[in-house]
Amino acid sequence: MARKPGVFVRLVTPEEGWRLQKIAKTSKQPIRMRRAIVVMASAQRQPVGLICRLMQVSENYARQVIHDFNEQGFAALDPNGAGAGRVRLIGRRVNGSTRSLGAAPVTWDGRSRRGVCRSYVRCYVSTQSPTSAGRLCGRSLKTKASRGRATRTWKAGKDPEFTAKMDRVLDLYDHPPADGRVICVDEFGPLNLQPRRQPKRLRATYHRTQGVRHLFGALDLTTGQIFYRIRDRKRWKEFRAFLQTLRQRWPGEKLYVIVDNFSPHKRAEVLDWCADNDVELVFLPTYSSWLNWIESEFAALRYFALNGTDHLSHGEQDDAIGAYIRWRNQHAEPKRDFAVDSKIRLPDFLPYVA
């Protein structure tokens, strides 16, 4: 018998993608939820065979849902037939709700598909233990398509000036001004002492002994070095004092300081001081901290200096942070080529799509 031709859903707009994701996440009708997930998977160019193994439905069912959505739109998701609410799973048909699936992602990868399928198994197949069900589901998904890991997407802020602000930041990264230097600044913390090496299991609400502290960090793109100060508070006064130390470090140069929209950064006292001292604050788009180059450095700082530690005092913790930053600055290189292969570089990049 000849192989059935491939079928895919029509092009889904970003607004329709958001609506499908909301239905798959919050709908109280199992039929409507399941059909939305089928459409979302097809919109990501997943073949019908893979969707059937993922959702444990028949191939005719998946094809019919896709064809109906192409013809009727969202009206095709509404329940309109007897027996449509029954789910075939691991060779048997059972009834039940699919609420346990949670939010189905718009972009699917191997981990997402396995997680959704395991949710089905654990929710509906009471005769299977979670371990054996996971193995069974994993074997059913060991295909070339499911092993691949697609690039995960993210949500960006709905800033009306998103494009202009992002282009300004990227231009400073790509073409540093000749009359000054570009500095990425942000706060890191809170730094607290987490007791870890205890014989008994700790409660989630353990007491943070000796209070918390905060780190102000600055990444100089010209040299690639990090400069920091640790303070008890992170108010506008501490932020302005940190800017003053940066001003003293590079006298005679204009400073282009890239910061997020944290309220102390926009205090009138801070803005007035910057205007009087040849410092320009370049604000990121809202909810777009991934554009701040220092964020990746903070991730490395947490991994190498803080994760799994058991410091007895803030002084000991400060020494560990200082030791890592000194080692890193000894191996620092100028920072160039920010996200050169990312989709944010595409002219039709949509910041609101998740």
Instruction: Report the relative pairing of strands 213-220 and 279-283 from DSSP bridges.
Output: unpaired
Q: Is residue 350 part of a domain?
A: no
Residue 89 pLDDT exceeds 80: no
Q: Which long-range contacts (CB under 8 A, 24 or more apart) does 85-89 make?
A: 85/30, 85/31, 87/30, 87/34, 87/55, 87/56, 87/57, 87/120, 87/124, 88/56, 88/57, 88/58, 89/56, 89/120, 89/121, 89/124, 89/125
Would 303 be classed as within a structural domain? Answer: yes
Q: Taking 80 as the threshold, does the pLDDT of residue 147 lie above it? A: no
Q: Using pLDDT thresholds of 50, 70 and 90, give the confidence band for residue 195.
A: low
Query: What's the mean pLDDT in 129-145?
Result: 44
- CA 151: distance to chain centroid? 11
pLDDT at 181: 94
Give the pLDDT of residue 212: 86
- pLDDT given for residue 206 in this prediction: 58
> Same domain, yes or no, for 126 and 251?
no
Final residue in a domain of this structure, among 121, 147, 173: 147
Name the pLDDT band for 143 (thresholds 50, 70, 90). very low
Percent of the chain with pLDDT over 90: 33
Query: Do 146 and 140 contact (CB within 8 A), yes or no?
Result: no
Which neighbouring-strand residues pair with 109? none
CATH of the domain at 227: 3.30.420.10
Listed ranges 119-128, 186-195, 198-207, 296-305; the one with the highest mean pLDDT:
296-305
Residue 354 lies in a domain: no
Say yes or no: 33 and 83 in one domain: yes
Give DSSP secondary structure letters for 34-97: HHHHHHHHHHTT--HHHHHHHHT--HHHHHHHHHHHHHHGGGGGS--STTTT-EEETTEEE---
**With bands split at pLDDT 50, 70 and 90, how would you rate the model's confidence at 341?**
confident
Q: Are 83 and 179 within one domain?
A: no
In a domain, 7, yes or no: no
For residues 47 and 171, membership in a common domain is answered with no
CA distances from 256 to 178, 234, 259, 321 (A): 11, 21, 10, 26
Residue 188 sits in the same domain as residue 323:
yes
Residue 60 has pLDDT above 60, yes or no: yes
Query: Whats the size of the chain, residue-wise?
Result: 354
Task: Among 147, 174, 199, identify where a domain stops.
Answer: 147
Question: Considering 112, 147, 182, which residue would you say is the last residue of a domain?
Answer: 147
pLDDT for 54: 76
Tokens of 339: 């996200």
pLDDT tens for 154-173 read 555 678 888 899 999 999 99
Six-digit token string for 121: 């198994």
Cis bond upstream, residue 190 (ω within 30): yes
Asked if 327 and 196 sit in the same domain, the reply is yes
Both tokens of 89, joined, read 């799973």
Burial track 110-137 (b if 16+ CB lie within 10 A, e otherwise): bebbbbbbbbbbbbbbeebeeeebbebb
Residue with the bigger pLDDT between 330 and 202: it is 330
Q: Per-residue DSSP letters for 113-143?
A: HHHHHHHHHHHH-TTS-HHHHHHHHHHHT-S
Model confidence at 48, pLDDT cuts 50, 70, 90, reads: confident
Residue range(s) defining the domain that contains residue 74? 14-147
Same domain, 195 and 331: yes
Are 262 and 328 members of one domain? yes
Q: Does residue 179 belong to any structural domain of this protein?
A: yes
Task: Looking at the structure, tell me whether residues 140 and 170 fall in a common domain.
Answer: no
* Mean pLDDT calculated for residue range 176-204: 78
Q: Choose the weakest-confidence range: 104-118, 181-195, 224-238, 338-352.
A: 104-118
In eight-state DSSP terms, residue 232 is S
Average pLDDT, stretch 199-217?
Answer: 71
Position 205 confidence tier, pLDDT thresholds 50, 70, 90: low
Bigger pLDDT: 229 vs 122: 229
153 is a domain residue: no
Range with the poorest average pLDDT among 40-49, 67-76, 133-142: 133-142
The band of 26, judged by pLDDT with boundaries at 50, 70 and 90, is confident
Whether 265 is in a domain gets the answer yes
Confidence of residue 250 (pLDDT cuts 50, 70, 90): very high
More confident residue, 43 or 3: 43
CB atoms within 10 A of CB 205: 6
166 and 143, same structural domain?
Answer: no
Same domain, 335 and 194: yes
Whole-number pLDDT of residue 306 = 85
- Does one domain contain both 167 and 143? no
What's the number of domains the chain is made of? 2
Question: How confident is the model at residue 310, as a pLDDT?
Answer: 75
**pTM of the complete model:** 0.56
Residue 113 lies in a domain: yes
Q: What is the pLDDT of residue 43?
A: 86
Q: What does the alpha-carbon distance between residue 93 and residue 214 come to, in Å, rounded to a whole number?
A: 55
